[in-house]
Amino acid sequence: MNERERFVATMHYQERDRCPICDFGFWTETIVEWQKQGLPAEVAYDHYDGIHTDEFFGMDRYSGGPTANVGLCPAFEFRKIEDRGDHEVVQQENGVRVLRKKYMSSIPHHEGHVLVDRESWKKHYKWRLDPGNPDRMPKGEKWDEAVRIWRDEKREYPVNLWAGSLFGWVRDWMGMENVAYVVYDDPAWFEEMVTTLADCTMSVLEKVLATGGKFDGCSMWEDMCYNAGPLLGPAHFKRYLVPHYRRLTELLRKHGVDVVWLDCDGNIEQLMPLWLDAGVNCMFPVEIGTWGAEAIRYRRQYGKELLMMGGVDKHILARTKREIEREVNRLAPLVEEGGFIPLPDHRVPPDVPYENYLFYLEMARKVWGKGVNLKPMKAAVKGRG
């Protein structure tokens, strides 16, 4: 089987040669640390200078291909505002001014927002969500190539649509505290922002789907939960977001796209049944966290209606090889059942030793991949030690 056939079979509980072997990626600093531990200097992540990590580690793809822009168009200008030694203040492409570390980057601290009221919404954001902006689509030969890939049912790898965000982007643009107040102080404006995002996404995806493309899934991003639960209460979630998720998933299923995954960190348990009811049927990355998320328990709770990608506690990769082996074997029955692609529950952090990660890959390829039709690894896997 090729990567596309394997992904489709896995997400539909069909027979396949093996489970996809994938990752979520790495902190930039992880690659730097691993290069001190034996990773070749030419191996890179998130760009294609040298050898990409997917090629080096023999990873399968679960997403790929050209996409259309459903976000801010044009984006804000990225610019550096102030140098503070180990930190710097920058304006991001979403208009948010943040203080970020130059090394060992964690989530940057918000220092200021362009989006603060209805006036700034109209002046700086709403017009950037015009679905008719021609820059949302590939141009000229890139458009022809995109359509060719979208329509090609014999392609080797899965191609998925990108549907952006309904809440997560608004939270980023305004800051958590501000959006929390808006939901109560001016719910009509909150609803307007969410609806504008949804309308933009729907319009852009309708144009892409009208090409006759054959897509293997659709992805979204929200990151609207923390360790105690959702950042937007379930009642507001159901009122303001669920109708738009349902609009989107109905459009997708009309065109044969029945795998819709949503990237949300944190404790998602209160929102999972609402997402499923709205047609969002795949959770990603099933972050374990201090709240004890558990992919096996979720399968018992929701059955095969729920698809998952993730569910491997990234922190275990920094522990002993015995613990890594135990985790791989523990998840094996769920992997075998299907509807689940195991991968670390976020980007691999720099405290994970390079040797441990290679051992994890060795076990994953042996147990989950069964040693069958695996992509070649350029990395040299050491023994168990």
Tokens representing 170 are 């608004």
In this predicted structure, what is the pLDDT of residue 105?
62
- Quote the pTM value: 0.94
Q: Report DSSP letters for 84-134, one per residue.
A: ETTEEEEE-TTS-EEEEESSS--SPEEEE-S--SHHHIIIIIGGGG-TT-G
Identify residue 1 by its one-letter amino acid code: M
Closest by CA to 201, choosing from 377, 291, 70, is: 70
- Judge contact between 283 and 306, C-beta under 8 A: yes
Look at residue 52 and give its three-state secondary structure.
strand
Residue 70 vs residues 51, 131, 140, 145, 358: alpha-carbon distances, Å: 30, 7, 19, 19, 37
* Spatial distance between the Cα atoms of 9 and 59, rounded to a whole number of angstroms: 17
Q: Where are the beta strands (DSSP E) in 170-317?
A: 217-221, 225-226, 229-230, 260-263, 282-284, 307-312
Q: Which CATH fold would you assign to the domain 3-75+115-367?
A: TIM Barrel (3.20.20)
Rg (CA), the chain: 21
Instruction: Provide the pairing of β-strand 87-91 with 340-344.
Output: unpaired
In this predicted structure, what is the pLDDT of residue 44?
82
Tokens representing 30 are 């992880």
In this predicted structure, what is the pLDDT of residue 380?
66
Look at residue 255 and give its three-state secondary structure.
coil
Q: Where are the domains of the chain?
A: 3-75+115-367, 77-113
10-residue stretch averages of pLDDT, the chain, 385 residues long: 98 98 92 94 74 93 94 97 92 95 77 96 98 97 97 96 98 96 98 98 98 98 96 98 98 98 97 98 96 95 98 97 98 98 96 97 97 89 46
Number of neighbours of residue 67 by Cβ within 10 angstroms? 20
* 384 DSSP 8-state letter: -
Distance of alpha carbon 296 from the chain centroid: 21
Residue 361 vs residues 56, 59, 211, 343: alpha-carbon distances, Å: 12, 10, 39, 10
C-alpha torsion sign, points 338, 339, 345, 348: positive
